[in-house]
Amino acid sequence: MSESDKQPGIIDPPLGVEDADTLQQWMQQITEATRQGMGQIGSIANSYVKFNDLVDGGFLIPMQPPGGVEYDFTNGPIGGGYYQSSGSASFDLTPPGKVNSVVVSSLIGAMDIEWLPPEMSFPHHYEVWRSTTSDRNDSVLIGTTSALRYSDVNVENGQTYYYWIRIVKTIGSHVIYGSYDSPSGTTGSPKSTVDNILDIVSEDMYIKTPGGNKNPFGYHNLGTDDNPDWVVALRADVAIQGNLAISQLKSGELSNTVALSVGQGSVTMDTRTDGSGQIVVTGKGGVGSNDYLILNQGRIASYVWDGSKHVQYKEVRRIERGVAPAGQLVTVPAYFKAQPTIYLAPFIIPTYNPNYPSQGQQWRLSHSNVEPNPGETGGWRFVPTAQLELTEGNSTQVYPDRTYLGSGDVYETIISRRTSLKKLRVNTRNKSIRSTGAAGNYYKRNVTVQLWYRVYGTSTWLLGKTVVVHLDSLSEKLGVVDYTLASTGDYDIKVRYVAADAGGTFTTGTQYEYTTRTVYGSSYVIADGDVSGVDNSVTVYLGEPTLGGGWGVVKSRWQYDYKLIGQRSGSNDWFGSMERPGTSTYNFHSDNSHAMEGRHTSEAQYHDSYCRFSVGMDYKTSYNFIEMQISNVSVQYTYRRPAPVSTTPQNAFYLDTIEYDQGAQLINPTNEQILVNWLAVGE
C-alpha cells in the first residue's frame, strides 16, 4: 500500500486474502474488539472507546502527520516498541495456533482451567471465554492472562460451565486472534462449598510457603453481594503450635471420592461412589506397596503386598458352623443382614461303595438355595446334599454257566443290575442243526440274538438291538451285539436266542457221535544192575472194552508217571524208555546219578492195546545200577459211530462274555448315613 493509497478510517483487509476463512476471521476480530471496547462483552470496566484505542487496535489509520511518517513492521519490535519510521509498509498477520490439552478442574467454590500452548515466538496473551451451554456463540469473555492457567471464582454451585481458550497475537498496533481450542468447549462443575473451612486462632499457627509463593491465601465469597460469605483458602503447609480441640475444626460433608488424609497418607477417610464412607489404615506414604486395612459399612478387610500386587489377607465377618445329616434342613442362627455364603466339608462319609468296583469314586457336596428363615429376622436356612460321583470305567464279565444245549429253538438269560451302564458288547457263539431226514443233508438255519434291557427296579423290557447269525454248516458261528444306552444308569440285561429254518439246505459228509472209555493198569518196577549187557523191560497190556452198537475205537491215549533212580561209574549214562507199536520210542535219559521223574502222555490215531517199558545203561559195570518205577498207568479209548438222522433241532447257544462301559454319573445315596460340616459366612 503506497502513501497516497492510505485513507483515514477502518483499515482494509490484509493483502493477498484469497479464502473466505481468513476474511471471516478478520471480520470477527474487528467485531469482537469493537464489542469489547463498547462494553457489550467482557468487563464493564473497559466499556469505553477512544481514538487511540482504534489506532492501537489496528482498526483506523490516522491522518499522515507532517514529515511523512509511515508504519513499518518488517523488522518486528525495536527498542521495546512495535513500529518505527522506515520504508514501505508490510506486516505478518498470520493467526496464531490453538492451545491444546485443556483441563477443567473442580474446586470448592471455583473452577481451575489449565492448558498447553503451541510453539510461539511472538507477543501474545490468552482469552478465557465461558458459557452455561455448549454453544460458543452464547459465551462471554471472563478474563485474560499470560499464564497457562486461570481460576474462575465467579461460579455457582451445581451449575455446569463450558470454557473456551484462544490465543491473542499482538504485533505493534495490530491484534490477531487465534481460533478457539474446541467447538463445544471443555466442561466442569464446582464442588460443594465447605462453610468456615478454617477457624483457628491465628496465634496457634504459622505459615510457610515452599517454592516462594507470593500469596498463599485466596478468598471467595460463597454468599451474595448483599449477604456475603467469605471463605479463606490457604495453599501452604500448616503446623499447629499448642493444643487443637476437634471443636475448632468445622466442615460440611465431603463429596463422593474426596479423601481426607492424615499422617503422610497412613490414615485416609473418604467416601466411595455409592456414598458409603470408609477408613484406610496403612504405612507411611499411603497404600502403594504397603499392607493396608479397610473399614467400610461395618466390614473389616486387610490386604498384604506380595511384592507385585495386593492380596486379600483376612476379612473379619460373622461366622456360624455346625454338623448336619445330608438331605435334612439346616437353620442358620440370626443375625445375618444379608444372605450368608455356605461352605461344606465331609464329616462322616463312606470312603468306598462296593456296588461300583470298576469305577473311580468321589463325593460331591452341595446345598440348596439359601433362603430367609420364616419367623426369625436375620436367620437363614438351606439343605445340604451329598452325591457319589463315579468316573468312567469298563469291565468284562465271563459267563461260563449261561449256555444252552438242547432242541428248544428259544432260550433267554437275564443279568441283573449292571450299575452306571452306558454301553455294552455281548459276545455269543451259536450252533443250530436240523436234518432233512436224509443222511448228510441239513436245513440252513438262522439264530437271532436279541439284546433287551430295562431300568433297574422296573418291569418293562425294551428291545435294544438284534443281530441275525446265518448258519449254513455244522460249525459254530459268532454273534456280537453292540449297543449304547440312551442314558447312563443301572439296568437289567436280557439276551434272547431264537433259532429257525432259514430256507434252503446244504450237504455235508457223514456225521459221527463220539464217546470215551478209560482202562487203568498197575504199578511196575524195572531194575537193571547186571553186566550181561541185556536191557530189562516189561510189557503192559490194557485192552479196550467192547461197546457194540456200531461203536469203534479211533484213538487211544496212554498216560503214566515215571521215576528213574540210579548210580553210575565214570561217564556211563543210563536211560529208560516207553515204546508203543507203530510209534517212535520215548526215551528218559540221564547222564548223572540223580533221580529223574515226571508224567508222560502218548496219543495215537489208531488202536493199540499194549506198550513196553525198558531201562538200561550205555556201559554196564558192577558199579552201575538203575531202577525205573511206573505208576498211574491208564489208557483212554475214543469211540465213534455214525450219528443217527433226526429232524429234531440240535441247538447250542453260548453267552461267552459281556463287555461293559460305565459312564460318569452322580448317585444319590439312599441308605448311607452321611454327615457334613457346614460353615455360614456373611455380614
Residue with cell string 490453538: 98
Q: pLDDT band at 419, cuts 50/70/90?
A: confident
User: What is d(CA 215, CA 197) in angstroms, rounded to the nearest whole number?
Assistant: 18
- Report the SS3 class of residue 408: coil
Question: Does pLDDT of 128 surpass 60?
Answer: yes
pTM: 0.37
Choose among 282, 278, 312: nearest CA to 298.
Answer: 278
Q: For the domain 394-507+648-663, what is the CATH code? A: 2.60.120
CB 631 within 8 A of CB 646: no
Q: Do domains 1-192 and 394-507+648-663 have the same CATH topology?
A: no
Choose among 319, 70, 43, 241: nearest CA to 172.
Answer: 70
Contacts of 75 (CB under 8 A, 6+ apart): 84, 86
pLDDT score at 341: 92
User: Angle at Cα 17 formed by Cα 12 and Cα 21, nearest 5°?
Assistant: 105
562, β-bridge pairs: 598, 630
pLDDT score at 27: 75
Where do the domains of the chain lie?
Answer: 1-192, 194-252, 257-316, 318-390, 394-507+648-663, 514-642
Question: Does pLDDT of 215 surpass 70?
Answer: no
Q: Domain 1-192 falls in which CATH fold?
A: Immunoglobulin-like (2.60.40)
pLDDT score at 590: 60
CA-based radius of gyration for the chain: 58
User: What is d(CA 469, CA 297) in angstroms, rounded to the nearest whole number?
Assistant: 78
Most confident of 450-464, 506-520, 580-594, 617-631: 450-464
C-alpha cell at 336: 445375618
User: What is d(CA 667, CA 390) in angstroms, rounded to the nearest whole number?
Assistant: 8
Average of pLDDT values for 507-524?
Answer: 89
Residue 484: HSE in the Cβ half-sphere, 13 Å Cα cutoff: 1
CB 560 within 8 A of CB 636: no
More confident residue, 532 or 550: 550
- Among the CATH numbers 3.10.150, 1.10.10, 1.20.120, 2.60.120, which is that of 514-642? 2.60.120
C-alpha cell at 112: 481451575
